[in-house]
Structure 1
Amino acid sequence: MTSHDRSSNTHSRHKPIVLTIAGSDSGGGAGIQADIKAISATGGYACSVITALTAQNTRGVSAVHPVPQEMIRAQLEAVFGDLQVTAVKVGMLGDSATIGTVAEVLRRYRPAHLVVDPVMVSANGDMLLAEDAVNSLRQELLPLADVITPNLPEAAALIGARLPATLSGVESLFEGLGNLDCAAVLLKGGFLQQESRSPDWLLSGGEVRCFDTPRVITANTHGTGCTLSAALACYLGQGLALEMAVSTAKHYIDKAILAGSNLRIGQGRGPVEHFFAR
């Protein structure tokens, strides 16, 4: 029996309510849409708070419209005021005001599990958060998180380091990441572009564990970071310990990438197959 099969048995006994707080991707491959698919596929009940609307497809983003703060707050209050949210995944926030609004509500309701995917840097290397917003993220949201899930550019930006290009360069980030005011860091190594491996590193309790799996060679990787963090939140919500939740989420995203590697959706960087098990 695989870890995914074992987790499926868990799903039948306990369906956690998992809230995703992120931007909407009109192309359906990333953001809120990817999160809802991943949470549903891994056994949770997904609810959402949308922080921004994007005009987006597999070829890129053509427009972004931030959601007003009063509407973000209203969504948060509506969800927490009725649903017994077990776990929260936070993705794209965009600015300091939104970070502050989300952090204030999360401090008040204190969900049992919080995964923060610090969406700070685009796939082509452009900064998506102003420096004041990066500081707000560090000071207001990271201390609330059970685990944050930066990719390499985001990790480098969080600690003011250069983007590493080698494995030894990645390891040089560990000390700085360990000094962040958060419980744990899952550092995603996909940007290394190694030929055959796909390593991620979990920094927790002063220790580092590498989760290393074979790399799937495909252009269909849109939304992989969103999908991984949403699945991780769902598995934590089911009661898995952090290392097991990371291992199970890593297994899930690897399978989703493999199953989606031959999909022909759109003309650019396509999505993964979230429902590969069906």
Structure 2
Amino acid sequence: MVVSAVAGPVERSALLPARARELFRGGLVTPTAGWCDGFAQANLVVVPRDWAFELLLFAQRNPKPCPVLAVLDAGEVSGPVLGDGDVRTDLPLYSLYREGEAAGTRQDVLDVWQNDFVTFALGCSFTFEAALQEAGIPVAHIDQGVNVPMYRTNRPCEPAGRLSGPLVVSMRPIPADRVADAVRITSRYPAVHGAPVHVGAPGELGIRDLSAPDYGDAVQIPAGHLPVFWACGVTPQAAVLESGVPVAIGHAPGHMLVTDAPNWRYQVP
């Protein structure tokens, strides 16, 4: 679907969240990095009520990849930080999981929605990317017009009941002389993953090939840049897969829930 009104990055960044959600509800499928400047984006994971406590405990034990922004009651489709949004229709693309297997993507989840579903909105690192750009630090996937690269690592998360799985990270190549600045800037956003978990040496995370991400798209890494890794909100979806949750829904990686919450709400001094 082509939407001429949001043809370029300037137009997309200037949109209000309600308008972006309207476009996604209307069928626009696109990664959301660089959209709705000034407003936080969120990861989405939805599980049956029978699994909700374990997911909440998993998030509490693994706050870096799973910072909780909001939890909706069973069956609710809108609530805190969502404005007039509907979690069943207002993301550009969803991932569906059944019995520990990926069951494809879809543009809405109306046909699979259950009244016992509990929705978790988790902080997303797209929220701090504007602060990086304002400081003159390039964000490669935005500049190159692709989805952010994400990787499963060899680091296990702390399990919670039936839920267990690996840490997933997102990667942004940062000029070597700006890595300390990137750490300082992102550390001010603990509710949206905060400071990086690793710098350089992808092999130490069990990542063999940066050009072959598990989710998203590869980015070009210019000379003089280091790969910098942040905890990623796809982590609970990896746990859903590994743990055999009967049915679950997540955002398709990189296709986030654009919220009405301003970025500054998640920034600390």
* Fold shared, TM-score > 0.5 on shorter chain: no
| TM-score, reference length from structure 2 | 0.27
Q: Which has the higher contact order (CA 8 A, sep 6+)?
A: 2
Q: Which structure has greater helix proportion? A: 1
The two structures have a TM-score, normalised by structure 1, of 0.26
